[in-house]
Structure 1
Amino acid sequence: MLQIVTVAKSAKEFTRKSEGDVIELRDGRLLIVYMEFSGDGSDYAKTLIVSRISDDGGLTWKNRKVIAETVPGDINVYSPNLIRALDGSILLIFMRQHSSNPRTTTMIAYKSFDEGETFQPYSEFAKKMEYSLCNAVLKRL
């Protein structure tokens, strides 16, 4: 039976919470990362990428942590993707949008060696290019 679950409700400070990805951790818990939009919640609002953990198969979510935020001068961070790396770590790959006309972005990779407890900056690529990425689309071949 299909069940709709709310991971996090919108609030005055973060009016939109959307676009995320989920990965199963080695102990069976689920890790979700998603975007929290401030202001009017538009695609160009300042954002955070946050994580939460579920230990009941996704029915409830707890332990909100901010992983990445919009840096001064940028528009936002968006399109989080989680993928297990060959070394067993977890990669979080997302976009940092610098401008909208022309649209310039940088792809950012953070890495977690402790099953999502912490993420450290790992790499930047496709720097300040007209490029975009959707959330939850990266696959390891």
Structure 2
Amino acid sequence: MIHKLADVQSLNIGKGTNVWQFCIVLPNALIGDNCNICSHCLIENDVAVGNNVTVKSGVQLWDGIKLENDVFIGPNVTFTNDKTPRSKQYPNEFLKTLVKQGASIGANATILPGITIGEFAMIGAGAVVTKDVKAHSLVVGNPAKEVIK
């Protein structure tokens, strides 16, 4: 189901996926089956979203972001793809961010570019993730630090 108030330019949307109102999905984005893309989201071209992924409201998935299967992205999570952003100055290639299978990112967390979040990791709400996160770990705070292995 693609809401009539969404601007979905991609033909690569899996079956059973819902894209809600006021979303923009650019032409080369890949979105798997049974996903839920909530309202007010932006998904750029060089983005891959696996199956059974939830992206809550207010999230932007910039070029270079990959979400594997069964990932949860909480409301207003902020991804970045450029470590040294400047107006009208773009890198030759954006850094790649990978969120591995089953990982969950809490509301309002910030994910710096070039990070890998391991399988089934949990990122606490409001955390600022500045480095890779190990599989099955819980990180919280600013900067995010592991609290459970």
TM-score, normalising length: structure 1: 0.30
Q: 1 or 2 for the larger relative contact order (CA 8 Å, sep ≥6)?
A: 1
Pick the structure with more strand per residue: 1
TM-score, normalising length: structure 2: 0.29
